[in-house]
């Protein structure tokens, strides 16, 4: 997969995220509007659902930031280079997640630390 294809994949991912994030924003609002009409228990359910919706919107936003960064790296010809050791990241790893910043060695070293 070359950088052009990777860029297409990232743009596709971004579109998917943007459409689902918009849907979730919508459902979070609906819950808010219904709060006065529902009982106490279901209100708690509704609040919980709203928190979950908010959390997934936050997740989508983080992913969107990562995608934007990956697109910038393609533009700067830095894409696929480990930010830690400057070695090429395995193409298979990039296919699974084009937004990864570290090669497998550095990524597992990071995991060991945390
Ligand atoms: Zn590395």
Instruction: State residue 33's pLDDT score.
Output: 53
> Where does 35-86 have alpha helices with state H?
40-75
Angle formed by the axes of helices 3-34 and 40-75, nearest 10° = 160
Closest C-alpha to 110, from 79, 84, 92, 90: 84
Instruction: State residue 32's pLDDT score.
Output: 58
Distance 58 CA to ligand 1 centre (A): 28
Q: How far apart are CA 111 and CA 114, in angstroms?
A: 5
Average pLDDT (46-65) is 90
Average pLDDT (71-93) is 95
Distance 91 CA to ligand 1 centre (A): 13
Distance 88 CA to ligand 1 centre (A): 8
């Amino acid at each position: 997969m070359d950088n052009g294809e990777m860029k297409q994949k990232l743009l596709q991912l971004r579109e998917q995220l943007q459409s689902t994030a918009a849907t979730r924003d919508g459902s979070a609002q609906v819950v808010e509007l219904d709060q006065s009409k529902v009982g106490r228990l279901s209100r708690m359910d509704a609040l919980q659902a709203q928190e979950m919706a908010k959390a997934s919107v936050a997740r989508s936003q983080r992913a969107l930031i990562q995608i934007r960064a990956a697109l910038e790296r393609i533009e700067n010809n830095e894409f696929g280079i480990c930010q830690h050791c400057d070695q090429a990241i395995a193409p298979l790893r990039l296919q699974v997640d084009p937004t990864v910043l570290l090669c497998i060695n550095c990524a597992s070293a990071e995991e060991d630390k945390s």
